[in-house]
Structures are given as C-alpha cells and as structure tokens.
C-alpha cells in the first residue's frame, strides 16, 4: 500500500514507537501515578516523560501546562467549553475543521455565544488584519487553525495572537496539522491555548492528543474525578495538569508518543517538513501537464505542507479514491475532510475533492506512482 493519507493520521509510525508501546504493555502497564509499587511508578514516569518532551518541543514554559486528551477534538472541546462564558463573542475562520466549528456553532445556535467567521485570503491563509477587524469590544476568544487540513497553508499564528491580544481577546490555536510540520513555539508566539492530536505529525498512536494552556489561564474542567492526587479532597484538584485530566490516561499511547517525540527531535522538524513539501511539489509538477486534473491548493509554495488537493476530470472524489485504492493500492482521502467551509471557499462543496497528504516515510517513488495513477484515471484508462 502507498499511504497518502497522513493528514488524517500518520502511518507508519517509527518502529521505536511500536517497540515502546510493546515494552510498556509487557513490563510496566500499571495505572500511572496511582500506586507506589515500581510498576506504577515507572508507568507514571513514562507519562511524565511524554509530557516533558512535548513541553520542550512546543517551548511551553512549564510541562504541567500540558494536559493529555483523547485526540484533537477532545482538546478543542476542553478549551472552548472550559474558557467561554454565556454571551461571549468569538472570532474564528470560515474554514475550520468540524472539531472546532461544530462546538462553536452548537453554542451559537443555543444562543450562548456570538460567533464571527473570517474568510481566508486568496493565498488560502488567514489575515491577522481581518481577524483584528472582526474583533469587537466583548470578543473573548480568537479560535483559529494554524494550518488548514484542506488548504495545507501555514497561518502566521504569532501575528494572529497579536491581533487577538490587541483586541483584548485570548487566542486558541488548532495546531492539529502544524505540530511536527512546522516550528511552533507557544511561548514565543504568545499563544494562550493550543490544541492538537498527537497521532499525526508527532508520530504518536491514535488515542493521544494534548491541550496547552498558558500559565495564569485557568479552564473549567470538562471532566472531574479520580486523578491519583489529593484523594482526601471532595472536589477535583485545581492544579494543572490534573485540573484537566481525570481518570486513567492512555499510558500505552503516551509511552509510544514519548518515542515518537524522540524520533521527531532526532530527525528534525525541518527535515520532515522539507521531505513532505518536496514530495507534494513533485506530485504537483508531474500533474501540471495532465489534462483534466486540477490542483486546487498550494498557492504559496513556501507556506505549504504536504497536502495536495486534486480534482480529476468530472469524476466524483470518492470514485477516484476508490479506484486509487482498488487498482493501484494508493490510500488517499476523498470528500469534504471534515471541513465543509474550506470546500465552500474553493467551490468544491458538497462533492469535495481528493486529498493527497504525504508523510515523512513516503518514498521518492510514491509521488511518481500517484501521478501516474491519477493521470491514468483522468485519461479513463
């Protein structure tokens, strides 16, 4: 199989990730942070190691400001529902992933929030000036993506944070497609919150995600319960990360994540990004001469990740994806990619398009194989 669906989740994971999960499961998989026997202590240390390593990668001032979550969606829900109050105004973009836009729209339709949505520029990025203009006196939060999972274009999150702060609002960044793909320093960019899955660019397994919350900002917890700490108290602990983590964590997954972060550090984010970008460019160049195939993104070459959006003749995206799978053993994602607003902007709603997303482990020949397969499908072979 040629796997070109890395924007959904990265595959394969580095062998060290699988080895770390296996070793953890076989030797240490006691409940972390709950017991004083050596297995429990070791399990707790594995979770702490993943947290410290993630804090270092993100430039977080304090590892305890990172709470582990189930996935990116969980982290975004925790941020929005833990921070916003009845009647608040929120500025977001028109091209967010459903994991950010649906909770906002749900609260808006229930009459609990006002939401203003800012459209992208022609280069498919979000303008900090437009965001600033959309803010009102009562804007509590700017909630936007760092990299759209459809456009694949990098937004300037530091400038977006300045725009939010100028307006007296906080900023929440959906960093799902950004972590591991670009240098994201939460302290340097002055982010208030960053939410992301750890199963994409960080090479962790599915079932891992995280929410960074800057020091001094306290969220209401979405879940309360056992934490292994302050068990004598009747209410949920207030200190991070326990404030936002209740119940047994996905320690198997976090053991794998720690190894994934090691792999990323040793490899270098820049190398990963350059590899994904160069494969994407190769595919785009190979397809540029093919009749009936249009590439819909990649308008800014520098600010682009490994995502390529394709329309192939008059064929439905699902049909193209099914043919790529069945005839060529190539895995891509068709449809709307959980971001209908992005497709409305591109004029590809509701049918959607084919999304090819390269990952670090793709080989040079993969772009060539994908280009040949798409060309044959376009030519009706």
> Is residue 73 part of the contact set for ligand PLP (CB under 6 A)?
yes
Q: Which stretch binds ligand PLP (CB under 6 A): 29-37, 174-182, 237-245, 272-280?
A: 174-182
Q: Which stretch binds ligand PLP (CB under 6 A): 114-122, 160-168, 171-179, 240-248?
A: 171-179
> Is residue 71 part of the contact set for ligand PLP (CB under 6 A)?
yes
Using the 8-state DSSP alphabet, how is residue 26 labeled? I
For the bound state, the minimum distance from the C-beta of residue 75 to ligand PLP, rounded and expressed in Å, comes to 8
- Provide CB contacts within 8 A for 227, sequence distance 6+: 33, 236, 237, 242, 245, 246
Which structure tokens are listed for 177?
């497609």
- In angstroms, the CA 304 to CA 307 distance is 8
> Is residue 149 part of the contact set for ligand PLP (CB under 6 A)?
yes
The DSSP bridge partners found for residue 147 are: 154
- Assign 343 to helix, strand or coil: helix
Residues 2-41: x where in contact with ligand PLP by CB under 6 A, - otherwise, as a string: ------x---------------------------------
> Is residue 174 part of the contact set for ligand PLP (CB under 6 A)?
yes
Q: Which of 53, 155, 177, 357 binds ligand PLP (CB under 6 A)?
A: 177
For helices 269-287 and 364-378, the axis angle rounded to 10 degrees is 30
Q: Judged by CB, which is closer to ligand PLP: 8, or 170?
A: 8
- Assign 253 to helix, strand or coil: helix
Which stretches within the chain are classed as H helix? 15-23, 38-58, 72-83, 98-109, 128-134, 157-166, 251-267, 269-287, 317-328, 340-346, 364-378
Q: Which stretch binds ligand PLP (CB under 6 A): 24-32, 67-75, 151-159, 161-169?
A: 67-75
**Secondary-structure percent of the chain, ordered helix, strand, coil, rounded to 5:** 40, 15, 45
Q: Judged by CB, which is closer to ligand PLP: 63, or 342?
A: 342
Among 343, 370, 344, 345, residue whose Cα is nearest residue 356: 370
> Is residue 78 part of the contact set for ligand PLP (CB under 6 A)?
no
> Is residue 341 part of the contact set for ligand PLP (CB under 6 A)?
no
Identify whether 182 is a catalytic site residue: no
> Is residue 357 part of the contact set for ligand PLP (CB under 6 A)?
no
Q: Judged by CB, which is closer to ligand PLP: 33, or 82?
A: 82
The DSSP bridge partners found for residue 96 are: none
Q: Judged by CB, which is closer to ligand PLP: 99, or 139?
A: 99
Q: Judged by CB, which is closer to ligand PLP: 206, or 293?
A: 206
Using CB under 6 A, count the residues that bind ligand PLP: 13
Q: Judged by CB, which is closer to ligand PLP: 174, or 192?
A: 174
Q: Which stretch binds ligand PLP (CB under 6 A): 68-76, 114-122, 238-246, 320-328?
A: 68-76
Strand 330-331, strand 293-295: pairing? unpaired
Site for ligand PLP in 196-215 (CB under 6 A): 197, 209
Q: Which stretch binds ligand PLP (CB under 6 A): 49-57, 66-74, 155-163, 251-259?
A: 66-74
- In angstroms, the CA 147 to CA 178 distance is 6
> Is residue 145 part of the contact set for ligand PLP (CB under 6 A)?
yes
> Is residue 127 part of the contact set for ligand PLP (CB under 6 A)?
no
> Residue holding tokens 């494969």?
279
My answer on whether omega of the bond before 323 falls inside 30° of 0, hence cis, is no
Residues counted in the chain: 381
> Is residue 176 part of the contact set for ligand PLP (CB under 6 A)?
yes
Q: Judged by CB, which is closer to ligand PLP: 71, or 362?
A: 71
Q: How far are the Cα atoms of 73, 213, 318, 320, 351 from residue 325, in angstroms, in the given order?
A: 28, 40, 10, 9, 19
- In angstroms, the CA 381 to CA 378 distance is 8
Q: Which residues are catalytic?
A: 338
For binding to ligand PLP (CB under 6 A), which residues are involved? 8, 71-73, 97, 99, 145, 149, 174, 176-177, 197, 209
């Amino acid at each position: 199989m040629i796997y070109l669906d890395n924007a959904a989740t990265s595959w394969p994971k580095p062998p060290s990730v699988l080895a770390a999960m296996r070793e953890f499961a076989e030797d240490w998989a006691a409940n972390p942070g709950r017991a004083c026997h050596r297995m429990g202590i070791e399990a707790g240390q594995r979770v702490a190691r993943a947290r410290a390593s993630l804090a270092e990668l993100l430039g977080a001032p304090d590892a305890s400001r990172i709470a582990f979550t189930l996935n990116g969606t969980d982290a975004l829900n925790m941020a929005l529902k833990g921070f916003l109050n009845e009647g608040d105004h929120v500025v977001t973009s028109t091209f967010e992933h459903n994991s950010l836009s649906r909770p906002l729209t749900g609260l808006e339709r229930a009459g609990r929030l006002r939401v203003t949505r800012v459209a992208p520029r022609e280069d498919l990025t979000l303008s900090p000036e437009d965001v600033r203009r959309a803010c009102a006196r009562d804007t509590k939060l700017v909630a936007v993506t760092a990299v759209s999972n459809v456009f694949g274009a990098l937004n300037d999150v530091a400038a977006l944070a300045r725009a939010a702060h100028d307006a007296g609002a906080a900023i929440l960044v959906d960093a799902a497609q950004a972590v591991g793909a670009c240098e994201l320093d939460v302290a340097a960019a002055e982010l208030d919150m960053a939410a992301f899955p750890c199963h994409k660019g960080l090479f962790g397994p599915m079932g891992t995600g995280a929410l960074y919350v800057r020091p001094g900002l306290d969220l209401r917890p979405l879940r309360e319960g056992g934490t292994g700490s302050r068990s004598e108290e009747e209410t949920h602990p207030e200190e991070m990360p326990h404030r936002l983590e209740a119940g047994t964590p996905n320690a198997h997954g976090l053991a794998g994540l720690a190894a994934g972060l090691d792999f990323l550090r040793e490899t270098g984010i820049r190398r990963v990004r350059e590899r994904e970008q160069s494969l994407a460019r190769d595919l785009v160049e190979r397809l540029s001469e093919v009749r009936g195939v249009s590439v819909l993104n990649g308008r800014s070459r520098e600010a682009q990740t490994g995502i390529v959006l394709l329309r192939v003749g008059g064929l439905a995206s699902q049909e193209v994806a099914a043919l790529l799978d069945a005839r060529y053993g190539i895995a891509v994602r068709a449809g709307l990619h959980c971001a209908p607003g992005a497709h409305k902007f591109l004029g590809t709603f509701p049918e959607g398009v084919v999304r090819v997303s390269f990952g670090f482990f793709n080989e040079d020949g993969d772009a060539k194989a994908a280009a040949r397969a798409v060309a044959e499908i376009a030519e009706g072979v």
